[in-house]
Structure 1
Amino acid sequence: MTDRQKQPPTFETLVTEAASAPTEGWDFSWFEGRATEARPSWGYAVSMAERLGRSDAVLDVQTGGGEVLDFALGKAPKRPLLAVATEGWPPNVAKATALLRPRGVAVVAALEDDPLPFADGAFDLVVSRHPVRPQWEQIARVLQPGGTYFAQHVGPGSVFELVEHFLGSQPEDVRGGRHPDRERADAEAAGLDVVELRAERLRMEFHDIGAVVHFLRKVVWMVPGFTVEAYEPQLRALHERIRAEGPFVAHSTRHLFEARKPGRPGSHS
């Protein structure tokens, strides 16, 4: 191997590769060897599978590409009689439909802020992994009495080390958004009983600038309007920092949320 071949990839090479990679769905395999993120201790997808096995009618809200629901259905001891998913981004609707249709799951196109297009009390289990904003009133409405909302949410200040590299210091009300205590209060105001709420802060590492670009293209709410061209100076500075100091370290925040609608199953009193 020549010295020329041993040279690490250039900024341009890494960015071009990342900018052309597909971003639909919640498959993060592209990051293998390029970025890492510790996983919450509760194992959300496996726990979801256990609950699917005890449910008759399930709704997955903001399913992304359907990967988490697909995994959980594959692990569930028993399939629910009815399984439905919603998604608002057209490329993800297509991907989720292709993935979940063979499992008998109907994917419904619905924007994240639209009312859920289902009847009152239609589901005994509503699940969601990383919803943008939980619609507590809608969740409570579509749950039958005794039904459960089981979700993993993004917490406050998640990956803000990276966000603030691009956007600068953020005000406290932005950093504190999605706080689990606030979400507990909102869920209770909608008439739900919160039975479990656990939070964790988890280490992330970005090993090259391509991983940063792909992450910001995929998780679009981190740096709204992100493009390589608009943020090239910050990208180049971070590239040089990673080259000189090693992986860029950030921290994600996650919380496990379980709430129940009061009442006896099957009762609509």
Structure 2
Amino acid sequence: MTRSFEELIAEASEASVDGWDFSWLDGRATEERPSWGYRQLLGERLARASAGLDVQTGGGEVLAGVPVLPPAMAATEAWPPNIARATRLLHPRGVVVVADPDRPPLPFGDAAFDLVTSRHPVTVWWAEIARVLRPGGTYLAQHVGPASVWELVEYFLGPQPEAARARRPDDEAAGARAAGLDVVDVRSERLRMEFHDIGAVVWFLRKVIWIVPGFTVDGELSRLRELDARIRAEGPFVAHSARTLIEARKPETPA
């Protein structure tokens, strides 16, 4: 039986959005995955590291899935519900979870880690990453790329030409180099996303709050009704995420 607009909205509005687990969307939305396989790369690198730091770890779900962690492993997170979730997941694995406001400085000493990682950081503080890396150490991360999920952004906010130019891979690489890091690899891909019902859209925007800043159901009710009708008539709403893989290394000796 097809559920009504009101039923879908109510369900999505009440569902928990804590952590960084997207399984609530199973069967309701899909997203292609980057070809490089970040989780596998992360596991391979952490297995070889002696001291690792995962920046902006979210609820710790990605790090918790790594089979082998370094002897010393720390993670930072800013959002209190995620800090609690990451602590529950990662403490049993011996990971120290540190509440950090996501602004400099990172709460660690110079040259503390031989590997720093991050998946979808909101902000990248390149100078701090360089500071806490040991000479010869590596930063490996998957960043959100430019104009990610832009079809959904502009559906609610209208044209955003200036914002669409942010997070370009060449700018990311330039930021790393300006901090004294050598860029080893930069790759980017755009990946198809499909939202199969209006509840999936609402839950996604509640969880990923920077997509449509200030989003509320009441504030966007008319646009949500229009989008619900469009999905029912035409099929899934299609958008495209943008992902960038970046690897940068701290030189063994200062330049």
Same fold (TM over 0.5): yes
Alignment of 1:123-162 (within 5 A): 123-162=113-152
Cα distance in 1 for residues equivalent to 2:86 and 2:104: 19
For structure 1, which runs of at least 5 residues remain unmatched after alignment? Answer: 1-5
- In the alignment, the residues of structure 2 paired with residue 111 and residue 203 of structure 1 have an alpha-carbon distance, to the nearest angstrom, of 32
Deviation at 1:81, TM superposition (A): 1.0
Any residues of structure 2 matched to 1:156-175 within 5 Å, and which?
156-171=146-161, 173-175=162-164
Matched to 1:233, the amino acid is: S
3-state SS of the aligned residue for 2:148?
coil
* CA drift at 1:113: 1.9
Residue correspondence of structure 1 range 193-204 to structure 2 within 5 A: 193-204=182-193
Secondary structure, aligned partner of 1:92 = helix
Superimposed CA distance per residue, residues 160-216 of structure 1 (whole angstroms, 9 cap, x where no aligned partner): 000000000112x20010111001001100000000001000000000000000000
Q: Is the 8 A contact 2:104 2:128 kept in 1?
A: no
Tell me which moved more, 83-92 or 110-119.
110-119
Task: Report the number of matched residues.
Answer: 255
Counterpart of 2:228 in structure 1 is 239
1:49 CA drift (Å) = 0.3
Q: Equivalents in 2 of 1:119, 1:91: separation in Å?
A: 26
CA drift of 1:52 comes to 0.5
Query: Which residue number in structure 2 is paired with residue 30 of structure 1?
Result: 24
TM-superposed CA distance for 1:114, in Å, is 3.5
Match of 2:211 among 222, 227, 232: 222
**1:243 maps to amino acid:** R
Aligned equivalent of 1:190, options 179, 184, 191: 179
Counterpart residue type for residue 138 of structure 1: E
Aligned pairs for 1:1-269 (under 5 A) are: 6=1, 8-72=2-66, 74=67, 76=68, 79-171=69-161, 173-263=162-252
**How far apart are residue 25 of structure 1 and its match?**
1.0
Name the Cα RMSD after superposition. Answer: 1.1
Paired residue type of 2:134: Q
Q: Deviations over 1:16-74 (max 9, x none)?
A: 100111111111100000000000011101110000011000000000000001112x2
The residue type paired with residue 165 of structure 2 is G
* TM value normalised by structure 2: 0.98
**Distance in 2 (alpha carbons) for counterparts of 1:114 and 1:212:** 33
Partner residue in 2 for 1:3: none
Q: Which runs of 5+ in 2 are unaligned?
A: none
TM-score for the superposition, normalised by structure 1 = 0.93
Moved over 6 A (4+): none
Q: Distance in 1 between matches of 2:52 and 2:18?
A: 23
2:219 & 2:102 partners in 1: Cα distance? 27
**Deviation, structure 1 residue 255:** 0.8
